[in-house]
Amino acid sequence: MKKSLIAVGVLLLVCVASKMLLWPADDMGPPAAANNLNREQLVARGAYLAKAGDCMACHTTRGGVPYAGGRALATPFGNVMSPNLTPDKETGIGAWSADDFWRAMHNGKSKDGRLLYPAFPYTNYTKVKREDSDALYAYFQTVPARRQANLPHTLRFPYNQQIALAAWRALYFRPAVYQQDPAQSVEWNRGAYLVQGLGHCNACHSSRTTLGGSEEGLSGGLIPMLGWYAPALTSNAEAGLGDWDTEHIVQLLHTGVSPRATVFGPMAEVVRQSLQHLEVADVRAMAVYLKSLPDTQPPAKPAPRDSSEAATAQLAQGAKLYETHCASCHQADGKGVPPGYPPLAGNRALLTDSPVNAIRIVLNGGFAPGTAGNPRPWGMPPYGPLLNDGEVAAVVSHLRASWGNDAPAVTALEVNKYRSVPLE
C-alpha cells in the first residue's frame, strides 16, 4: 500500500512538472508605456505597424479579402492555414480583447489557450512592445469584417498534436521583450527592434533545425518549402552590409534597387508589401543596425576547380549560351549596366555555397519590386522554357566561374530539383 502511494505521488509530481514545463503560465510582460495618442492616431499607428510586420502577406489570399486569412503556409511538416484577423465576432477576432491579442503576440497562444504554430512568427513578435501590440489590435478592429471560417491545418502526425507543439515550445521558445542596448544609439536600437521583432528577419535569414527551430542570428539558410536561399547577413561574402554605404542600404530596403544590388525572389515581395511603406527614418535605423552586424562568417577557401574534360566542356558551353542570351544586357565583361542590368562580376548572389537563387533566376526570370522609388522595374525573362537542365547548369556554372568569380559548378540534377518548384 505504501509503495502504491509513493508511486502515485511520483506520478503526480511528474505530471505537474510536465505541465509546468510544457504549458507554463502566461508571461504578460511589462505594461504598455503611456502615450498621448487618441483613437484615430492609435489606429493609424497600428496600420503602419501592420505594414512593418507584413501581416497581409500571410493573412490574405491572392485576390482575397484583406486579413481574412485562408492562405496555406507550407512547412516541411504540412500546411498551416492563416486565420481570419478581421473583426468578425464568430470567425475573426471581433470577440478578442487587447489582452487576448497580446497573448497571441507575446506568448503564442490563442484566446482559448490553444498553442499557435510558429508559422505565425511569435518567436519574433514576442519582442514587440505592449503599446505596439495594442495599436495593432486597434487597427485590426477597424478593418472591414469578413465572415470567413478558419480552415483546418493539414499537418502530419505527430506535428498536428498540441502536446508535440508544447514540446517544441519548451525547446525553442521563451517569451521576451526587446531589451535596449545602452551602449548603442537610439537609432541603432530602433533598427534592432524592427529587425528582431516585427520585421522577423531571422525567420528567413537563418538556418532551421530538423524540428523547425530557428537558429539564433542572421547566419543565412534555405527557406523551407519556398526553395530560395536567404543569404547570411553576418557574412560580407554573402549579404553582410558592413562595407556598404548606409544610404545604399536604405535605397535597397526602401526601393528594391541600389548601386550595389537589386532584391529578387521573396525579398522583392517584402520590399513591395512592407519596407517601401515604412518611414525613411525607420528604414535608415534598420540599415544602421544591419550594417553594424559583425562579419562572423569569413568566406571559405574555394575548393580546387575541376579541370576534367567534362567540366571544361560545360564551361565552354555556358560561355556560348551566355554570349547568345545574356551578354547584350549583362555585357561581355559581366559588369552589366546597373541598376537595370545588375553586374555579374563579383555578384555575391552568384557566389553563395547554395546555387539555388541563381538557378531559379535563370529558370524563372525575375523582377525587382515595383515601388514608389522604382515604379518601372527592369526585369529578366525566364529561360526555363528555352534551355534544358544541362544548359541552365552550364550557364550558371559559367557565371560562377567568370570575371573573378570562384564558386563550384552546378549540375543538371540540381537544376531539375528546382524546375518545378512554385515561385512562392
Domain ranges in the chain are 23-172, 186-292, 309-419
- In this prediction, residue 14 carries a pLDDT of 37
Neighbours of 55 (CB within 10 A): 22
The span from the CA of 354 to the CA of 346, in Å, is 16
- In this prediction, residue 424 carries a pLDDT of 56
The span from the CA of 281 to the CA of 283, in Å, is 6
393, 299, 314, 402: which is closest to 355 by C-alpha? Answer: 393
Maximum Cα–Cα distance across the chain: 89
Burial class (CB in 10 A: 0-12, 13-18, 19+), 206: buried
Provide CB contacts within 8 A for 246, sequence distance 6+: 284, 287, 288, 291
The span from the CA of 84 to the CA of 81, in Å, is 10
Residue ranges of the chain with per-residue pLDDT less than 50:
3, 5-20
- Contact of 347 with 335, CB cutoff 8 Å: no
- In this prediction, residue 185 carries a pLDDT of 98
Does a cis peptide bond (omega within 30 degrees of 0) precede residue 382?
no
Provide CB contacts within 8 A for 43, sequence distance 6+: 135, 138, 139, 142
- In this prediction, residue 422 carries a pLDDT of 65
- In this prediction, residue 22 carries a pLDDT of 61
- In this prediction, residue 19 carries a pLDDT of 45
- In this prediction, residue 367 carries a pLDDT of 85
Does a cis peptide bond (omega within 30 degrees of 0) precede residue 158?
yes
- In this prediction, residue 239 carries a pLDDT of 87
Three cell numbers written together for 410: 552546378
The Cβ-side half-sphere exposure at 197, using a 13 Å CA radius, reads 25
CATH superfamily of 309-419: Cytochrome c-like domain (1.10.760.10)
- In this prediction, residue 423 carries a pLDDT of 59
Three cell numbers written together for 171: 525547446
- In this prediction, residue 1 carries a pLDDT of 53
